[in-house]
Amino acid sequence: MSCTTWAPSNRIRIWMLLLVLAGTTAFGQNTILGALEDVPGNYTDTPNSRSVRLMFQKKGDDWQPFPSKCPAQDCLKKISSEYPGEVVWTIGFDGRILGRVTGKTPEDFVFYSHIGLQNIIGGHNIPTVGKRSTEYGGYIDAMVYRPLVANSQPQFKDPESWKPSQLPTDLTRLVRQGFRQKFPKLCKVSKRNGAKVEPFYYRDDDVRLDKTYISRKHWMLIRVRLHDAIGCGDAEAGSEIDDMWFVIDPLKSIRYLGEGMRLVDAGDYDNDGKSELLFSINRDNKGGYELFYHDFKSHAIFEFDYH
């Protein structure tokens, strides 16, 4: 057997190559989460288009959002450099894989509401679920297909098996009590003067439990609505009390999650054995996504302004 002696310069080049490869592998193992969206045209005569929005990256035990706040137009050109240039995505819904696409980050996001949107440059038969509606149309009430989770890893199983269900009757009162505790004072727009607000008095029965999801571990997620109620302030600033979400843990303790959200999907996107829940944001001049994980103890927010 012969023995080869490496010159110092060769050893340095090899070590540098190994470091580069190690860094590439580490980045490649990070799970990146996005959403396949049906993006409304920028003008009334422009058709919708399909894009993938980059939102979160798993770092250690936590999900971190990509930067999404731009105070000025020149920021839209600079911020795209903080996103991965190209990602091969697996698209899924309700625990199932629906397809794969490749997304490429543009040099300029152009519009505030386009922050994070990648152009689809590869993939056939881009999947859709259901029909277009305003359910996920956001602040502008656009007619769009529901967003679908896009994952850089093919991981969509929902080990906690979240399913639509009926809230047990004995917990209805608990949710309404939790709502009143969170919102002891509400207002409504005055019918005599639309620029003013007046107190809004409601009964417990007026609080509508719109949707309920229950996991196999007996967590419960409830969407609550109260028609005509807004936050107290002037009529323009008052926010409508709509799409309020509460969660009940297995010990029957209730907690408020947030408002102005639509549930997109649930799945174990980082393969840690627990499901994450993804919501889209639908608030005044706000869009984006919120991701809840670690049994709702943690969450990450990717939020942008429309203008």
Q: Is residue 189 part of a domain?
A: yes
Q: Residue 174 and residue 3: Cα distance in Å, rounded?
A: 77
Looking at the structure, tell me whether residues 142 and 120 fall in a common domain: yes
Looking at the structure, tell me whether residues 78 and 135 fall in a common domain: yes
Looking at the structure, tell me whether residues 41 and 144 fall in a common domain: yes
Name residue 251's amino acid: L
Looking at the structure, tell me whether residues 195 and 238 fall in a common domain: yes
Q: Is residue 25 part of a domain?
A: no
Looking at the structure, tell me whether residues 116 and 78 fall in a common domain: yes
pTM for this predicted structure: 0.87
Position 4 scores a pLDDT of 39
Q: Is residue 8 part of a domain?
A: no
- Cα torsion 263, 100, 109, 71: sign: positive
> Interior CA angle at 58 toward 273 and 147, to 5°?
85
Cβ atoms < 10 Å from Cβ of 111: 16
Q: Residue 226 and residue 183: Cα distance in Å, rounded?
A: 11
Q: Is residue 21 part of a domain?
A: no
Looking at the structure, tell me whether residues 136 and 170 fall in a common domain: no
Position 237 scores a pLDDT of 53
Position 14 scores a pLDDT of 42
Q: Domain containing 91: what range? A: 31-151
Looking at the structure, tell me whether residues 66 and 174 fall in a common domain: no
Looking at the structure, tell me whether residues 218 and 119 fall in a common domain: no
Looking at the structure, tell me whether residues 49 and 126 fall in a common domain: yes
Residue with the two structure tokens 């007996």: 218
Total of domains in the chain:
2
List of E strands, the chain: 32-39, 49-59, 62-65, 86-93, 96-104, 117-122, 148-151, 163-164, 186-189, 197-200, 208-214, 220-225, 244-248, 254-258, 261-267, 276-283, 286-293, 298-305
Looking at the structure, tell me whether residues 82 and 193 fall in a common domain: no
Q: Is residue 22 part of a domain?
A: no
- The size of the chain, in residues, is 307
Position 124 scores a pLDDT of 80
| pLDDT per residue of the chain (307 residues) written in tens, 0 to 9 | 434 344 444 544 444 333 333 333 333 458 999 999 999 988 878 899 999 999 999 999 999 999 999 988 889 989 999 999 999 999 999 999 999 999 999 999 989 999 999 999 998 889 999 999 999 999 889 999 999 999 999 999 999 999 999 999 999 999 999 999 999 999 999 888 888 889 999 999 999 999 999 999 999 999 999 988 988 876 555 567 778 999 999 999 999 999 999 999 999 999 999 999 999 999 989 999 999 999 999 999 999 999 8
Q: Is residue 251 part of a domain?
A: yes
Q: Is residue 274 part of a domain?
A: no
Residue with the two structure tokens 């719109």: 210
Looking at the structure, tell me whether residues 145 and 62 fall in a common domain: yes
Looking at the structure, tell me whether residues 136 and 69 fall in a common domain: yes
Q: Is residue 218 part of a domain?
A: yes
